Chain A
Amino acid sequence: MADRTAVPKVGDSLAGFDIEVTQERVQRYADASGDHNPIHLDAAFAASTPFGGTIAHGMLLLAYVSRLLTEHFGMAWLQNGVLDARFRSPAPVGARVVVSGNVKSVTPQDDGTMVECAVQVADAAGQTLVTATARMQM
């Protein structure tokens, strides 16, 4: 399996990705996770809420954050990753979200190197949906 062990430098960007949060994707996540909250799945119900329509699971957005970290840090993220995330705004179904990050600090330690990154999920207009700090020892 792929493992990216190259230690990054402070300021490096983590090449991200964008993805449209379709109802199909939200449904698939609901089925896989067991979270069938109607705010994510039932358009009529969701229309009656302050959100005005269905929204993505917060944990789906975090799964996209994890996907970014796995892509860049491989086994280090899977073995000792730490994630601290805040949900800033919901992602309405139909939104295209952009997942990106950058390296904030690189700290040599006795048994490796601690890397800290800032990761965010934003919508296409640039509104922040999730902010997160991730740390891995490489």
Chain B
Amino acid sequence: MTDLTAIQPGYEFPEQSLELDRVTVSAYVAAVEDPFSGFDGPTPLVPPLAVLALAMRGLTDLILRHPGTLHMSQQLNVRQIIPVGTKVTSKLLVKNRSERRGFAVLTLEARIDTRDALAMTGSMLLMVPLAAGGASNG
């Protein structure tokens, strides 16, 4: 298991691949109650936040094992429209790490690609408690 408090700048999480299939995306759109017509119909699109959330599931699982982790900020840069059915790969890199008030402060950079092109980039700031305990706002 990866220890989020111990990873250093340059660490790359294992690459993840997934297909943004209709069932998964429809469940997401229903959950966030976004009425935009482009997310429905015969050729639906995927909301950008859905791409990010679904592509980062591996990180979500990891954060679960680090109670007390705080999600402080999130940046997202969309590069193309993503239709339902698109296969994407996501990469996650530790860009910066510092320690403050009992937390490891991590800046993670994400890159999500379709088969042919960059789909989006993002970065997030996480504060991971150096000692176990507490909750998480992930």
Interface residues, chain A, CB within 8 Å of chain B?
1-3, 19, 25, 28-29, 31-39, 45-46, 49-51, 55, 57-60, 62-64, 66-67, 70-71, 74-75, 77-87, 90
Contacts and interface: CB of A to CB of B under 8 A. Distances in A.
6 contacts: A2-B36, A34-B60, A57-B138, A59-B138, A78-B45, A87-B71
B31 A33 contact: yes
B137 A81 contact: no
A67 B24 CA distance: 18
B3 to A, nearest CB: 18
B53 A33 contact: yes
Interface string B21-40: 00010011011111111100
Given A81-B78, A86-B73, A50 B135 contact: yes
A60 B32 contact: yes
B31 A32 contact: yes
Interface string B96-127: 00000000000000000000000000000000
A75 B54 contact: no
A38 B29 CA distance: 22
Contacts of B73: 84-87
B87 interface: no
Contacts of A59: 49, 52-53, 71, 74, 138
Given A58-B137, A62-B74, 7 more contacts: A34-B61, A37-B136, A39-B135, A46-B135, A67-B33, A79-B78, A84-B73
B81 interface: yes
A90 B76 contact: no
A84 B31 contact: no
Nearest to A130: B74
Contacts of B78: 77-82
Contacts of B71: 58-59, 87
Contacts of A64: 32
Nearest to A65: B49
The 9 closest A-B pairs by CB, nearest first: A49-B135, A1-B38, A63-B32, A32-B31, A39-B135, A28-B31, A32-B27, A32-B28, A67-B34
